[in-house]
Structure 1
């Protein structure tokens, strides 16, 4: 007997020959035996119909629903039936059999089954693309996905062909530099550590056109400072080395000077170690300098001023204040050589009693700011020559010099102790554009020195008259309050003017409605001046808009004023927190809603009251008006109880008890405003033990 083929037939099936290309299929009966048909044509049709049915079942998507749970008993019944079967998969396009397992082998592996593991049958028909009936009659496993994907991934072929786009790498160099220009110098130095490309970009000269080391000069070493300046040298236009004492006379400093050749603004204030030769080299190589600040440098001399006059014709601002080795003769060279000079600051420079220097300043007539603070050599004669020139023509009727008016806008003559009324009086009617005048410490001035100035300066906004003990209230009430500059005056200081009081300041507060800061310390002003100031601020303020906070409208300094009491201070605090109604407009029918004022007063007063005043101001500024009013009321009760306790006569013990109670309430109120303290709760106190 020939051995059966095990490749394409079931166990026990007859071998397939070339004469019979279509083998007969075995029909399984209830006993698991294969029967043979007599009619070949009928058998062939039955086999084809069975195979087509199985294929149709395998392609149905509802196959999972047609099946039923597998029984633990034998899957075969007495009658010839088939369980739910399906094809394992579609025929492989490559001709290989599917990987599914045989139906009969799975059926025979059921738990507790007594059916045979192999079934003898007749030969099976060969189908194209299938190697055996095991692949055709395999159970298909269907797994229901937990979630249906809503997107499809890019195919691998397209994914490999897609080019990755790096935004920063493909960005033009100019745009990268513009992005990095928004970083601060310290941030640029930190970003340079990212990579070599970032290092080259962060030290690109276009990012360092303005180099200001005043914010980090204490942290940057000399080597790093010089390295940055050398790298960006040709691009640097604004150089600020204020306070950089690490810039010394060595190879680094010389490299910095050689690199910077396009400076427009240079600030070397406080660079005490800057040597003279290095400074001169820097000035000679920068002909476009417009602003030069050499404050406090010991290397600056008259020779330096000569080099500036020859090498910097475009100079507009020159500051040599507190340079010990410079005098007025060097200033004259700069004034005569730099015809565009408009800002000259020469505080505490000697030699300004020289008439030649004063005449050079008069002839230039380009200065808009002149700072001569602390120049003790400046006298009346030199000041007159600066303003009127030498031997000017005098008007017979007015006794004024007939000369072109000066262009001065800011004049600082503070601490020029040799000036008197005759010299300062020459400014009258010759400085019509004056906006700021500082005469602090010129102790010999009287009302006659300031009267013509106030009458002829309609743009005056800043006036400082500290320590002028000879001024009287008439100057304030009759001249300043009625001067053309009264509506625009913003800053006014009469500190330590002991003869000035309410008679002069009340008219000033009524007429000078644009005041923003007033210094009245150590004067004779009283509570009336404070009340008038509060009324002036309330008059110009408007009701506060919703969801907004008030701003500081006036800074008032009244400490060391003997006539100022807590009553005047309370008036200011009360007006700061008092609600106001908007001004009525004719024809308006809407209802007015009261609101706190938009501007308040910050007060600097007696140090014992200052903490309460500051706390009250903080509450008003943050919008807590109710808490501010409560603090003001409790503080008033405390001050009143203090005054009663200090009075003599009967009832002293009762007044002292009231004072202690008021002090406790006031302390509770102070603690309520402190952070971390729960409002409305009092701190536990233990009565002190007094030993008799």
Structure 2
């Protein structure tokens, strides 16, 4: 009898297969079954991923801490539910700290409830574009069932009253909620959600730092958001784009109260206030926000370096104050966006041009085609028209008028390029017989000759490409 062939296993701890469109489901499963030490897995956008893939991960990859299944169109919430219920059946927890499920189909209460029970270590959860995600599903993620014993598992819980959850009841009623470790939660474009989802999360995400809930629209009211942010003192970045109902009350909730003289906001004797760590806020399309509230927010949040307020009533005073405080605080890469704000005039954009720039540029091979204006390149003529876009000490000011500066610099470059081309053509026409150019007596059109003297195979009667088209970065010759 032939000896049974032993199964070999890999020692892989991290696998990134994003963009491997030709990968088959069978090959993927063959690899995962033999990668039992796997901790990080990125399968973003792969059609090879199915619900069976999730079953294999639940069985053969118990140490997985980071999983990216964004935009995997051939799987749905059933696969995630199987992973969670399998761990619960074994009396274990999923070790996941990062789970990305953008675009997940059929996301409903049973899956979210099972995930909440099985994955208490989650710190990053991306559920953006989950079109079926409902307020009740968000509640199921943090709710504790009657008779459920989670204390022995080391999962902290809290008792919350119905009034704390925004429910109008006559009797005093309390609900038990899990206290999660979530730091980053993305619920953007989950179109069935309202601010009730925020109320359900209010006492369950005390460590929240990044919160994204863009694309919801008028259904996202202020009341639930205020309840949430009142309980998240460490919040750093907030994206509420298209939240039309957001107004001054929300900004007041994000603005820390002034501290007494001699007492810092980080003092051990004082509990942290919401807004003391706020770095970036996106309230684009919030028509009910007034300048006074934005000014108070800018002055009260010492770490604020990003404010996006497209399509709001923001005026010139907000721009001036943001730029002034950014310079005073020596903030790097500070940014304020005021596109489609009628209160922002062309005069104030010109007034602030000495301290601002229209784009946040950077030096790299990947950015070569964006042609950022950099003073280190010695473009004196361009700097007379625009601002240094790679100077991190300048505030990025994105408005209708500031963007015209980018177009003006581009037009000036094209004008110089055209003039340089015409001058080169005139010099070529006046050249001697020993020149590399030869009109051949054909209407003045030049032939391009190789440095060796013989005409290259691909050349015809066309002129060579200008050197500026090749000067896009360092090349190994």
User: Does TM, normalized by the shorter one, top 0.5?
Assistant: yes
TM-score (norm 2): 0.65
**2:214 is equivalent to residue 424 of structure 1:** no
What's the CA shift for 1:504?
2.4
Give 3-state SS (helix, strand or coil) of 2:348's partner.
helix
Map 1:551-562 → 2, pairs under 5 A: 552-562=332-342
Map 1:446-461 → 2, pairs under 5 A: 446-461=221-236
Residue in 1 aligned with 2:405?
A: 612
Residue in 1 aligned with 2:161?
A: 395
Residue in 2 aligned with 1:407?
A: 181
d(CA) in 2 for partners of 1:502, 1:356: 43
Shift of the 397–462 alpha-carbon distance from structure 1 to 2, 3 Å rule, reads: closer
d(CA) in 1 for partners of 2:320, 2:67: 45
Of residues 483-492 and 515-524 in structure 1, the stretch that sits farther from structure 2 once superposed is: 483-492
**Residues 329 and 357, structure 1, Cα contact 8 Å, conserved in 2:** no
Count of matched residue pairs = 339
Map 1:340-489 → 2, pairs under 5 A: 340-390=95-145, 394-395=160-161, 398=164, 401-443=175-217, 444-476=219-251, 478-482=252-256, 484-489=273-278
d(CA) in 1 for partners of 2:53, 2:392: 53
**2:307 is equivalent to residue 518 of structure 1:** yes
d(CA) in 2 for partners of 1:535, 1:362: 48
Give 3-state SS (helix, strand or coil) of 1:463's partner.
strand
Q: Which runs of 5+ in 1 are unaligned?
A: 1-257, 542-550, 578-596, 617-666, 678-692
Shift of the 554–570 alpha-carbon distance from structure 1 to 2, 3 Å rule, reads: same
Higher Rg: 1
**Residues 129 and 190, structure 2, Cα contact 8 Å, conserved in 1:** yes
**Residues 468 and 496, structure 1, Cα contact 8 Å, conserved in 2:** yes
**Residues 247 and 287, structure 2, Cα contact 8 Å, conserved in 1:** no
Shift of the 674–601 alpha-carbon distance from structure 1 to 2, 3 Å rule, reads: farther
d(CA) in 2 for partners of 1:295, 1:556: 32
d(CA) in 2 for partners of 1:271, 1:354: 32
Structure 1 stretches of 4+ with a deviation exceeding 4 A read 391-394, 396-400, 574-577, 613-616, 673-677
Give 3-state SS (helix, strand or coil) of 1:370's partner.
strand
What's the CA shift for 1:556?
1.6
d(CA) in 2 for partners of 1:393, 1:612: 56
**Residues 317 and 342, structure 1, Cα contact 8 Å, conserved in 2:** yes
Shift of the 573–352 alpha-carbon distance from structure 1 to 2, 3 Å rule, reads: same
Give 3-state SS (helix, strand or coil) of 1:382's partner.
helix
What's the CA shift for 1:398?
4.6
What's the CA shift for 1:614?
9.0
Give 3-state SS (helix, strand or coil) of 1:486's partner.
coil
Shift of the 314–373 alpha-carbon distance from structure 1 to 2, 3 Å rule, reads: same
Shift of the 366–609 alpha-carbon distance from structure 1 to 2, 3 Å rule, reads: closer
Give 3-state SS (helix, strand or coil) of 2:323's partner.
helix
**Residues 234 and 276, structure 2, Cα contact 8 Å, conserved in 1:** no
Which structure's relative contact order is higher, taking Cα pairs within 8 Å and 6+ residues apart? 2
**Residues 305 and 326, structure 2, Cα contact 8 Å, conserved in 1:** no
What's the CA shift for 1:521?
1.4
Q: Which runs of 5+ in 2 are unaligned?
A: 1-6, 88-92, 147-157, 166-173, 258-272, 358-390, 420-477
Residue in 2 aligned with 1:194?
A: none
**2:285 is equivalent to residue 496 of structure 1:** yes
**Residues 475 and 504, structure 1, Cα contact 8 Å, conserved in 2:** no
Give 3-state SS (helix, strand or coil) of 2:397's partner.
strand
What's the CA shift for 1:432?
0.8
RMSD between aligned residues? 3.1
Give 3-state SS (helix, strand or coil) of 1:573's partner.
coil
Q: Pick from 253, 267, 277 the counterpart of residue 26 of structure 2.
A: 277
1:53-105 Cα offsets, whole Å, 9 max, x none, are xxxxxxxxxxxxxxxxxxxxxxxxxxxxxxxxxxxxxxxxxxxxxxxxxxxxx
Of residues 357-366 and 427-436 in structure 1, the stretch that sits farther from structure 2 once superposed is: 357-366
**Residues 109 and 140, structure 2, Cα contact 8 Å, conserved in 1:** no
